[in-house]
Structure formats: structure tokens, C-alpha cells
Structure 1
Amino acid sequence: MSENPFKDIPGTTLFDHEQSRLGYHLNMFCMSLMKVENRAAFKADEAAYLDRYEMSAAQKRAVLDRDWNGMIALGGNIYFTAKVAATDGLSFQQIAAAMSGVSQAEYAQMMLDGGRSVEGVRSKKDR
């Protein structure tokens, strides 16, 4: 099997079977936040709540630090990790802006303008 060509796109993490396996427990934690009682338990003692899941130390740290890009790199699915943001009262647009390194207003304008430019570095090899 050849190397996945999508792994060469800068700033892109493809949620494929490898990422799915890597992030299984992280994503199960995120999905647990669908229940109000679990959100309350998580907010009461985040570290203790995370210990209920067989997540790696790096995954737990990414959640505690609200490192959105880190969660994605460690197998998190954006639609699942957004449940952590919602638990914090954040919108998807707010975390997308944080992940992009711009303000929410800048992110919103970028989307209104058609999204990120396709110009620039198109391959990690080009850096």
C-alpha cells in the first residue's frame, strides 16, 4: 500500500482509519459530553473525568489545554471535539478561528470571502 498523498497537505489532518483508531477513546470521551450529567461531572473535575477514559497522556493534556489542533492531531474528530467547545460555551466558529490562528472576526470574514486561499505552500515538501 502506498503512502497516503493527503498526508502531504500542510495544515490538514485527514480523519482516516488510522486517526480513527488513534483517537477512539478521545472521541468516546467527547461523545460522553452529549449528556448533561457528564458535562457537569467533567466541569466539576476535568482531570478526574478524563481518567475514566483510556486516553493517552498527550490526549488528556490536549483536552485540558483546549489545544484544538492537538486533539485533531491525536485522533480527535472535529465534530466530536466540538462537543468540548460546546461544553465551554464556545461556538464552532470560535474554535475554527483559534485553530486557524486568527480572530473570530477575521475567520468569519475569510469564510465570507470564500475561505482560505489556495495559493501558497501546497505540499509539506515545499517548505
Structure 2
Amino acid sequence: MPSNKPYKNIPGTTVFDADMASIGFHLNQFCMSLMKAPNRERFKQDQQAYLDEWPMTEEQKQAVIARDYNHMMSLGGNIYFLAKIFSSDGISFQDAASTMTGMTLPEYAQMMLDGGRTPQGNMYEGDK
């Protein structure tokens, strides 16, 4: 991976770039497979068996089973592909986003209604 990525150390942010797309290719392809009802049913019946059909890393598979969306993103998952997983689980985008922030759904909704997260604690040292 190229090391000259000025955006690499944005606090609290995973940037989905070409390198991440390459790392997460099979994870994201698995997610896209969930667009088809028969695949969703197979996945729901035996998650591990369905995941084992994909050449994903074990770490990616375990992140899917744990529904750890932040970890999936760190392993190359794109949030718009990962949405196929939480949609298959009957979870809204807002519900999933709240789990990624460590907030309850009402807390997350109120935070967004109030204008989102403050930049405090999420800035580069020189930006303070």
C-alpha cells in the first residue's frame, strides 16, 4: 500500500480508498450476494457455512458474525455494501450507525438532530 496518504490518520475515520477496496473485495462481494433472497436465507440458516464459501479472511468472517461494522470497515468493508448485512438482519441504517458509535438508538438520533458529533477530540493536534 502506498504510504503517502495524507488522510490516513484522520481521527475516528476509515477512508475507503483503492487499497481498502482491494483488501475488502471478497467481503464486499459477500455483502452484495445478500441482495438475493435465496442467499439471505442460506446465510441466515448457517452463517459460518455461507461465509466459508467466500475467500475472505477469518478475521473478516468473525467480524461479520459479530456484526462489528467498525471492524469490518477496518478490514476493507464499505458501509454501503455492509448495509446489505444489517438490512438482512432487519436493522435500519440508523440502528446500525448507533452501534458503530457506542450509543443507543435514541442517543444517536438526538445527537444527529442536534447537528452531529462535535469536532472536540477528533481533530489533529495542529487544528486546535
Shorter-chain TM band: over 0.9
1:70 aligns with 2:66: no
CA drift at 1:5: 1.8
Higher mean Cα deviation, 113-122 or 87-96?
113-122
One-letter amino acid of the structure 2 residue matched with residue 51 of structure 1: D
Residue 119 of structure 1: how far off its partner (Å): 2.1
In structure 2, what residue type is equivalent to 1:81?
Answer: L
- Answering whether residue 116 of structure 2 is matched by residue 123 of structure 1, we say no
How far, CA to CA, are the matches of 1:85 and 1:40 in structure 2? Answer: 14
Aligned match of 1:80: 81
Matched residue count: 126
For residue 43 of structure 1, what is the aligned residue in structure 2? 44
User: Any conservation in 2 of the 1:33–1:83 contact (CA below 8 Å)?
Assistant: yes
Q: Which amino acid aligns with 1:27?
A: N
Are 1:20 and 1:75, in contact at CA under 8 Å, matched by a contact in 2?
yes
Q: Report the RMSD for the aligned CA atoms in angstroms.
A: 1.8
Cα deviation for residue 123 of structure 1 reads: 3.0
Distance 1:58 1:124 in 2: 32
- Aligned-pair CA distance for 1:2: 5.9
Quote the residue 1:106 is aligned against: 107
Paired residues of 1:9 and 1:124 also in contact (CA < 8 A): no
Structure 1 CA distance, aligned partners of 2:73 and 2:123? Answer: 20
Unpaired stretches in structure 2, ≥5 consecutive residues = none
The amino acid that maps onto 2:58 is A
Consecutive unaligned residues of structure 1, counting only runs of 5 or more, are none
Offset of residue 120 of structure 1: 2.2
Amino acid at match of 1:14: V
Partner of 1:106, secondary structure, is: helix
Report the alpha carbon displacement of residue 38 of structure 1 after superposing the two structures with TM.
0.3
The AA in structure 2 aligned to 1:56 is T
Aligned to 1:94: 95
Paired amino acid for 1:68: Y
Paired-residue identity, %: 54
* Equivalent runs, 1:53-64 vs 2, <5 Å: 53-64=54-65
Distance 1:124 1:73, change over 3 A: farther
Q: Displacement of 1:6 after TM fit? A: 1.4
